[in-house]
Amino acid sequence: MRTREFDTRQAISNAMEVFWRKGYKGASMTELLAAMGIGKGSFYAAFGSKHELYLQALRHFRDTGMLFKHSTALSEAKFAQESIKELFDQLIKRTINEQKTCMLGKAALDFRGQDPQVAEIVDMGVSQLEKAILEILSKAQATGEIAEGRDLKVLSSYLTAAFYGIQVLGGAKPCRENLEQVVATVLSIVFPSE
């Protein structure tokens, strides 16, 4: 038996980029093989099917923090409002400049809960985002940036929904000014100036 002559992790990363741009249905085997730099025999020996490769690519997206790839917002110590605004600013840049939306969000729309394996990966990834936002909001409440008594879980879910909604809106209507106005409104609800 021949040993595998390619870097599996790199191949999955390259396939992830194709799926990220094209979605599951839009990514052809020809494009995937070319991006991965492997032939059909090696592909089927290593991954078995396009679906299995897609699941591995989704996990890679989730596990390598691709949700936050272009943003340092969640790792730097700043005021919560500034961190969340930076997260959304980077999201808008990625949506407009790179024409990329979150691969997990795209998977959720493509499969609409009809594939339990995809749904589990998406749920875990979205939960990671929601948890990261909740941690920022918890610190903000502890420092008085967010008033006591506000439900941080609800706010975290609201910001997560806005995160995905802005990407869908930006894909349908790529207008930076419009998206920035939406973000300003979202922030005014979470961080009202009184």
Domain 8-63 has CATH 1.10.10.60: yes
Q: Is 165 helix (H, G, I), strand (E, B) or coil?
A: helix
Cut 0.75: pTM above it: yes
Over residues 119-142, the pLDDT tens digits come to: 999 999 999 899 989 999 999 999
**80, 120, 56, 25 alpha-carbon torsion, rounded to 10°:** -100
Sign of CA dihedral 182, 108, 122, 127: positive
Over residues 141-177, the pLDDT tens digits come to: 999 999 999 999 999 999 999 999 999 999 889 999 9
Sign of CA dihedral 67, 71, 187, 171: negative
DSSP state of 39: -
pLDDT of residue 76: 58
pLDDT of residue 67: 63
The whole-angstrom separation of Cα 23 and Cα 194 is 44
Domain 66-190 has CATH 3.40.50.1000: no
- Mean pLDDT across the stretch 43-51? 95
Domain extent listing, the chain: 8-63, 66-190
- Burial of 6 per CB tally in 10 Å (0-12, 13-18, 19+): middle
